[in-house]
Amino acid sequence: MKRTILLLSTLVLASASTAQSSIRLTLDEAQSIAAQRAYNVRYATMDKDEAASNTREIIASGFPQISGSVEYNRYIDIPTQVSSGDVFGFPDYLNTFLGGVAQATGVPLDAPAPDPDAIQEFQFGAEQTMTAGITATQLIFSPSYFVGIQAAKAYASAMEAAESRSVVDARRAAGEAYAAALAADENVGLLKSAEQLASDSHDQMRAMVEEGVAESTDADQLELALTDVKQQRTAAESMAQVALDALKFTMGMPVETTVILADSFETLDGALSAASVLGVPFDAVRLPEIRTQTQNLALSELGIQNEKAAGLPSIGAFYTNQRNAQRDAFDFFGDGSWYPIQLVGVQMNIPIWSSFAGKERVFKAELTRDRAATALEQMTEAARLEYRAARSEYNASLEQRQQSQRSLELATRIMDRTRIRFTEGLASSFDLAQAQNQLINAQGGVTQATLRWLNAHLRLQRSLNA
C-alpha cells in the first residue's frame, strides 16, 4: 500500500511539470494522496516535526554547554580614577618608626603638612586590550528541566495525534470531493442521454409534421424542451469541471493536472458496504481529536508540576578559562604576555519567598487542568452525538436511495408508455415533454440520493475512525 501511495505521489509531483499528464484515481487512491499531500496534513506534519525538534532541544539543554568569546577594546581615553591625596600614605607603624628614628638622631622629618583636600589622579591599564576564553556550564539539578522534558514529549504526542486527525479529515474531505465530482459527471451523462432522447423525439415530431399528421406547435414544444436540456447540460459540464478542480485542490494537487475518475457509483456501491460501518461499535478513544485532547490534559497536569517545581532549588556548575592581553599598540599576535583567568564554581538558586505568587500560579495551572478535563468530557459527548447523528443520516440516506430507485423505475415506465402512445397519436407533445422531464428529475434524484449516501457513509466512517 505504501508503495502504491509513493507511486501516486510521484505521479502527482510529475504532473505539476507538464499540463498533458493525466492520472486515473479511484476513491481510495484519491484519499491516500490527500492523506499525504493535503495542505492541512502538511501543516500538521510540520507541527509534529517541530514538536519533536523542541523535545530534542530541551533534552540537549541539560547536557554541557560550551561557548567561546573574543573581546577587543581600544580606549580612546583611558579611564581615570581619583582618590584623596594621602590615600597612599605610609602605614602607621612606619610613621611611628620614622618618628622614633627622628627623635633618636635628632634629625627632624622634613615632611610637608598633610592636605586633606588634596586629590590624586591615576590611569590604570593599557590603551588596547583583548580577552579570549571559553566557558562551560552544566545543569546538575533542576526539577523544571525534568518536568519540561515530560511536557515536551507529551506535546509531541499531541502533535502526532493532531496529524492523525488531519489525515482523517483529509481523507473524508477528499472522499466528499470525489463523490461530488462523480455526481457532477453522472449528471452530465444523464443530461446527455436526456438531450439525445429529446433530440430523437424532436426529429420524430418534425417528420410527422412534414407528413401532415402532426401540428408544428408540437414540434416547437419539443424543440423548446430540447433547448432547455442543452442549457442544463452545458451548465452541468461547467459544474463538473469545477467539482474536479475542487477535488484536485482538496488532494493538494496542481489544478493543471488531468484527473480521470476511475470509480463510479456502481463500483462504490459494491465497495462500500453497510456492514463496514454499521457493524463497528463506537469507541471515542479511537478518535484522533480525543487522543489530542487527552494529551492536552496530560500537558496541563505537567503544567501544575512545573509550577510546583519552580519553588525547588536548582544547581548548576560552570568553568571559565580566559586569557587577557594589554598593549599600547595593536600587537596581540606577537610575543607579548597573555595573562590567565581561570575559575570553576557551583551555583545554587533557592527560591525563598514569592509573596504567594507561586501559589497563585499553581492555582491557575489547576484551572487550566480543569478546563482541559471539561473540554475532554465535552468533546467525548460531542463525538458520541456526532456518531448518533451520522448513523441516523446514513440510515435515512439508504431509505432515500431506495425510494429514488423506485421513482426512477416508475418514471422509466411512464416514459416508455408515453412514447408508445405518442407514436400512436394518443399522447401530445406536451405529455411526452412532461414524461421526459419526470425521467430527468428521477435520474437526478437517484444521483443526489447516491451522493447523499456516499457522504453519509464517509461521515459515519469518520465518526468511528474506521
DSSP state of 81: E
Architecture in CATH of 2-37+142-312+352-464: Up-down Bundle (1.20)
pTM of the model: 0.77
* Lowest mean pLDDT, pick from 162-171, 252-261, 361-370, 431-440: 431-440
* Complete edge-to-edge strand list for the sheet that includes strand 339-349: 65-74, 128-141, 314-327, 339-349
The overall average pLDDT reported for the chain is 86
Of the listed ranges 74-78, 204-208, 277-281, the one predicted with least confidence: 204-208
pLDDT-derived band at 52, boundaries 50, 70, 90:
very high
Would you state the pLDDT for residue 87? 62
309 exposure class (CB count in 10 Å sphere: 0-12, 13-18, 19+): middle
Would you tell me how many other CB atoms lie within 10 Å of the CB of residue 259?
21
Q: For the chain, what percent of residues have pLDDT higher than 90?
A: 51
pLDDT band, residue 1 (cuts 50/70/90): very low
pLDDT tens string 287-344 = 999 999 999 999 999 999 988 888 889 999 999 999 999 888 888 887 888 989 999 9
E strand spans, 161-264: 258-261
**Number of separate helices (H) and strands (E) present in the chain:** 11, 8
* Cβ partners under 8 Å of residue 454, min gap 6: 175, 176, 179, 182, 265, 268, 272
Render 268-293 in DSSP notation, one character per residue.
Answer: HHHHS-THHHHTSPP-GGGSHHHHHH
**How is 93-136 classified by DSSP, letter by letter?**
HHHHHHHHHHHHHT-----PPP-TT-EEEEE-S-SEEEEEEEEE
DSSP symbols for 135-178: EEEEEEE-HHHHHHHHHHHHHHHHHHHHHHHHHHHHHHHHHHHH
Amino acid in the structure at residue 233: R
**What confidence score (pLDDT) does residue 19 get?**
47
Domain positions in the chain: 2-37+142-312+352-464, 79-124
Query: Sorting pLDDT into bands at 50, 70 and 90, what band is 456?
Result: very high
Work out the percent of the chain whose per-residue pLDDT is above 70: 91
Q: Which of 171-175, 187-191, 224-228, 417-421 has the highest mean pLDDT?
A: 171-175
Distances (CA, A) of 64 to 29, 162, 294, 309, 344: 49, 33, 34, 22, 14
Q: What are phi and psi of 313, to 5 degrees?
A: -70, 155
| Mean pLDDT to the nearest integer, 217-245 | 88
Contact 462, 389 (CB under 8 A): no
CB 460 within 8 A of CB 386: no
Q: What is the mean pLDDT of residues 201-218?
A: 78
Q: Residue 408's Cα: distance from chain center in Å?
A: 45
Is 54 or 200 the better-scoring residue by pLDDT? Answer: 54
pLDDT band at 107 (very low <50, low <70, confident <90, very high): confident
Q: Is 154 left (phi over 0), alpha (psi -120 to 50) or beta?
A: alpha
Residue 88 has a pLDDT of 62
Residue with cell 465530482: 181
Banded pLDDT at 75 (limits 50, 70, 90)? confident
Per-residue confidence band for 112, with pLDDT thresholds at 50, 70 and 90: low
- pLDDT at position 423 is 77
Where is average pLDDT lowest: 79-88, 106-115, 209-218, 453-462? 106-115
Cβ–Cβ contacts within 10 Å for residue 351, how many? 11
